């Protein structure tokens, strides 16, 4: 899924859960993310420790840890969100500028 960005007349970012869903105002978790945290290194911090591999990387917007995506064997980013209560991640991939909220299943570009 490719995130879409649109703005309402007040300039607020609107988000969509998919191509056919109407765009709406972001969830409270995405609205609360005012500064995007970028990865310190382009690695999954847990996979490096355990010898695992990853496909793509995501950075937690609450604590800053960079972990692997759900296409990776260990799915560390979503595990982290579920156990820590930190719902918002940003893509840590070069050239990608989007946030995702696990709790509300919403994507927003920044």
The domains of the chain, with CATH numbers, are 43-62+71-105 (3.30.40.10)
pLDDT tens profile 22-44: 677 899 999 999 999 999 999 99
Confidence of residue 14 (pLDDT cuts 50, 70, 90): low
Q: Which residues contact 37 (CB under 8 A, 6 or more apart)?
A: 59, 60, 61, 64, 90
Percentage of residues in the chain with pLDDT exceeding 70?
A: 80
At 18 the pLDDT is: 52
Q: Is the pLDDT of residue 8 over 60?
A: no
Is pLDDT of 47 > 70? yes
């Amino acid at each position: 899924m490719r995130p879409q960005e649109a703005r309402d007349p007040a300039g607020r970012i609107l988000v969509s859960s998919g191509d056919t869903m109407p765009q709406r105002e972001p969830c409270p978790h995405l609205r609360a993310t005012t500064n995007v945290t970028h990865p310190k290194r382009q690695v999954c911090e847990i996979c490096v420790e355990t010898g695992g591999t990853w496909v793509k990387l995501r950075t937690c917007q609450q604590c800053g840890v960079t972990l692997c995506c759900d296409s990776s064997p260990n799915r560390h980013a979503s595990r982290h969100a579920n156990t820590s209560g930190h719902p918002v991640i940003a893509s840590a991939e070069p050239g990608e500028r989007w946030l995702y909220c696990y709790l509300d299943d919403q994507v927003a570009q920044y």
